[in-house]
A = this chain, B = another copy of it.
Amino acid sequence: MTAFDAAQLDDIYAFAVQLGKDAGRMLLEAAEARYDGLNGANGDDAHVEKMNSVDLVTQTDEDVEAFIKNQISHRYPSHKFIGEETYSKGASKDYLIDDEPTWCVDPLDGTVNYIHLFPMFCVSIGFIVNSKPTIGVIYAPFLNQLFSSCTGKGAWLNERQPLPLMRNPIPPMPPNAPKGCVFACEWGKDRRDRPDSNLHRKVESFVNMAAEIGGREGKGGMVHGVRSLGSATLDLAYVAMGSVDIWWEGGCWEWDVAAGIAILQEAGGLVTTANPPPDLETVKIEEVRLGSRLYLAIRPAGPSEGESARQGQERTVREVWRRVRHLDYARPGA
């Protein structure tokens, strides 16, 4: 077990926030170069002109990860580093997070968005202590939205607006949730058209959540809205804001969610598994395992008459589980 005192954590937190800002600025500058500069006067960019959007984005992704990794190893040489780019090139898909202090980083979440200059892309920097996401920094530079948290210090939008946004008081979960909830979900990359593919399991689940009450053989959830942003990291940040009530997703990796989970938990949200257990009505609701690739997140909630905040969140978890299919995202190495 590693222990950090308050001053050490403060130092790491301030470093992480600055790192997120710097990395986000690199993402935005590289994006702007793609639309402003490439065919302009800058002769140095000649080699870049031969690359297509996807190559350019891959290059940016690698550059930003290398920048972050270098900054961390310079400042905290004893800390472990797990980044999307370095991991993806490795042979193994093992879960590598243990009790050592570990940085878990996605230099660019929302890659498809970034390729298309769709604004919902961000850098995600999580710092994990004793296997627990402790510091989270997410910066979406096109939106100029910076989310940050450190255990015990609150969760913040742009360093001054506490999360969740609505907090005087924090609203309880709606009595008939998922009715009244904003539901965020993602279509993902697995588009196989087979009867039991993840695509069809997901869509069946989405339709259950969306359909009128009484529809879908009683599974209709009549959520208030269905949203898909194309970034797991920003989905989690928006749950922490309270803007999204429920996020349900499979297939993410730990660097997609480490920072978001830190921020959401610090804001008062709940994160558990996406896949409904057999005894879903009664099972104890466990905290998500970071490497599980299956995530169900519920926004920070206030208590209502007769129900604590946690009870309202757990009730919502069970109502979601009643309506969703199991997803099949095993770890390749597991």
Contacts and interface: CB of A to CB of B under 8 A. Distances in A.
Contacts of A36: 168
A145 B140 CA distance: 14
Contact of A215 (B38, B143, B192, B245): B192
Interface string A220-240: 101011111110000000100
A167 to B, nearest CB: 7
A193 B167 contact: no
B34 A166 contact: yes
A26 interface: no
A66 interface: no
A112 interface: yes
Nearest to A243: B118
A35 B37 CA distance: 41
Given A40-B168, A227-B230, A242-B117, A222 B191 contact: yes
Interface stretch (A77-85, A205-213, A268-276, A316-324): A205-213
A187 B228 CA distance: 11
A118 B220 contact: no
A225 B230 contact: yes
A35 B168 contact: yes
A215 B214 CA distance: 31
A320 to B, nearest CB: 17
A144 B166 CA distance: 20
A203 interface: yes
A208 to B, nearest CB: 9
Contacts of A211: 191-193, 199
Contact of A191 (B34, B169, B220, B243): B220
Interface string A90-131: 000000000000000000000011011111000000000000
A18 B153 CA distance: 40
- Between A143, A193, A229, A230, the greatest number of chain B beta carbons within 10 A of the residue's beta carbon is seen for A193
Given A193-B211, A200-B207, 13 more contacts: A35-B167, A36-B168, A112-B224, A116-B244, A117-B165, A119-B238, A119-B243, A187-B210, A187-B225, A187-B226, A191-B210, A193-B216, A225-B230
11 contacts: A35-B167, A35-B168, A113-B243, A116-B182, A116-B243, A116-B244, A192-B212, A193-B212, A193-B220, A203-B207, A228-B228
